[in-house]
Amino acid sequence: MILRTVVLAILGCLTHASNPHLLKLGPQGVNLWKLEQLHSRSSQQPRKDSLLVQGASEASFHPSFEHGTKPEFTAQWFEQPLDHFGGSTNDTFMQRYWINTRHYQPGTGAPVIVLDGGETNGEASATRKIPFLDTGIVDILAQATGGLGVVLEHRYYGESIATKNLTTDSLRFLNNAQSAADSANFMANIRFPGIEENLTAPGTPWIYYGGSYAGARAAHMRVLYPDLVYGAIASSAVTHAAIINWEYMDIIRRYADPTCSSHLQESIKTIDTILDHRVLSTPLKALFGVHGLKHDVDFVSLIESPLGSWQAKVWDPEVGSTTFDEFCAALNKPPGHKNPDVMLLEYGHPDRMVSVPGGLKVDFAIINYGAWIKKHIVSRCPEGFSHEECFGTFDDEHYKDTSLSESWRLWLFQVCTEWGYFTTAPPDSTLPRIISKRIDLEYESKICRQAYDPGDHFVVPSLPNVTVVNELGDFDIAMDRLAFIDGEVDPWRPDTPHSDYANDREDTLLRPFKVIPNGVHHYDEYGLRNPDDEPQEIQKIHKEMIAFVQSWLMDRKVEKEGMRKLD
């Protein structure tokens, strides 16, 4: 049975914005996601600097065309089995994809450059906001090779919906093995509309690209299906799955503006101390605008929210968010009645202290922190809703809706079953930190128990089975024609082969291993219409990527010519 007809009828009035980068904040992240959906639906204009850290538009992709003309990239569909392995169901679903043919040179043996849409709406990966297909890495490599560019949407995301609802049983086919089999089936059997040439793998070389989770998928595809995936580029590839991912916030602590980082560390230390003594916790929460929030751990998880915007930094200001820098600037600014020279004084110096109602006296950095949270986060709690209704996480009923509109359930299901990445404070209490010690594994993982009731066919494990990810290579995953590209200050770098925990490697044409200086999350994925306008480090990495892909293709050509001579 093909589910698409039924599903699309349900989808007509829904918004499909799934944001795993926001959802790393655990149960609080779901609250923020719900508020963002509410505001996005009311305004129909998602804000780049809003709570949606990714900042991706959900609009259809219409690149620079005059009004009324046909868009260059339109959605195509490929039928996939829901279960590639067990035969437990004969259901199929329609997987969505887009193609860029502007550089395609038929009959030349040029490659197909396929970008894995990952844990997002694939359409969002093809918009101006994230222009991977139009001016980004897909177009860059297709132009350099005369190849065909493709964006392939991940099962269950966007409109590649394989189910009528998002119950635990319905989500049981959302896993690494099934999604990899989708890509393999697509590469081996796709017939592109309007193209007479057979471009299926392995007859045509396919270069598989992914960033972040999709970067890990790119690496895994090269390992799992080496006959179909001729080469792969894994950008910010989280090939190491971890239950606890405290290093994410530690990268931010280490590489943020030193003054801002210091203010964060000292403020969190002070906040934890105040909460320990309880007597001043109410005026403290009032300072942040959430005096009605019952649980202290919900409070400290709420004030963690602006830190996720570090990941949304992008070298292209039209795409990236400036929220983190704006937050730091606000945190560092002395109150108007204070002499600017107080910035030079040690945190907690009497001249830096400000008295607030309720008998509380704190450093001006905490005053600024509270003001920022009130203005940018708490203000989004609708009128008539309590703080507990907006930001509390202990009411299980808040997470029971399994309708397709609750697309936050998708990535969190993957987190809870296979990937982990629960963002906690450092396990060693003596280590410096920028989030509260109260944010622990129990709190971050409780959403798995709250949201996914046991089904008749599947039960979410007590902790994710990260072994199914790590057994594919972990930090040491490597193959010929498998490239790893990471950002130096990417908060996900500790989970990539460029982690400080991983062994160093040589950077070669056959096995590229590159770091972008001051780069954050998959910086190489973005591009401009005029490459000369890109920063030098981005121009450099793009030229290096073109060089090693062309080298791979030349090796293939030489190998094929040699085989013909032998024949």
Cβ proximity of 539 and 531 under 8 Å: yes
> Any catalytic annotation for residue 490?
yes
Region of residue 358 (phi > 0: left; psi between -120 and 50: alpha; otherwise: beta): left
Distant-in-sequence, close-in-space partners of 96: CB < 8 Å, separation ≥ 6: 75, 76, 77, 122, 123, 153, 158, 159, 160
N-term to C-term CA, the chain: 46
Of 11, 7, 116, 55, the closest CA to residue 316 belongs to 55
Indicate the SS3 state at residue 188. helix
Q: State the helix-helix crossing angle for 323-332 and 258-277, rounded to 10 degrees.
A: 70
Distance from C-alpha of 162 to C-alpha of 6, rounded to nearest angstrom: 10
Crossing angle of helices 176-189 and 213-224, in 10° steps, is: 60
DSSP code, position 378: G
Let me know the angle formed at the C-alpha of 166 by 130 and 522, rounded to the nearest 5 degrees. Answer: 25
From the candidates 40, 50, 160, 212, which is the catalytic residue?
212
Determine the angle formed by the axes of helices 258-277 and 247-255, rounding to 10 degrees.
Answer: 130
Q: How many Å is the maximal CA-CA distance in the chain? A: 89
Residue 212 among the catalytic residues: yes
Catalytic pick among 250, 490, 495, 524: 490
The beta strand positions in 157-201, using DSSP E, are none
Helix (H) or strand (E) holding 80: strand 76-81
Measure the CA–CA gap between 226 and 109, rounded to whole angstroms: 18
- For residue 208, the cross-strand partners are 114, 232
Question: What positions carry a catalytic annotation?
Answer: 212, 490
